[in-house]
Amino acid sequence: MDTVSSLVCLADKALIIKYIKQALAVLLELQENCCEKGRSYILDY
């Protein structure tokens, strides 16, 4: 039982991290769209 519950706990943590990464990616995209400097820098790069 302990191994099963710890595996479930790890799976939950992985899902949370996945959602956090997705949220960060969306925020970064929004920032890039709002920031002219950021957009021109990315295009130049």
The predicted pLDDT at position 43 comes to 60
Q: List Cβ neighbours of 32 (8 Å cut-off, separation of 6 or more).
A: 38, 39, 42
Closest CA to 21 of 10, 11, 33, 29: 29
The predicted pLDDT at position 41 comes to 59
Q: Would you list the domain boundaries of the chain?
A: 21-45
The predicted pLDDT at position 21 comes to 93
The predicted pLDDT at position 15 comes to 93
pLDDT tens string for the chain (45 positions)?
A: 688 888 888 889 999 999 999 999 988 888 776 665 555 655 655
User: What predicted TM-score, i.e. pTM, was given to this entire model?
Assistant: 0.53
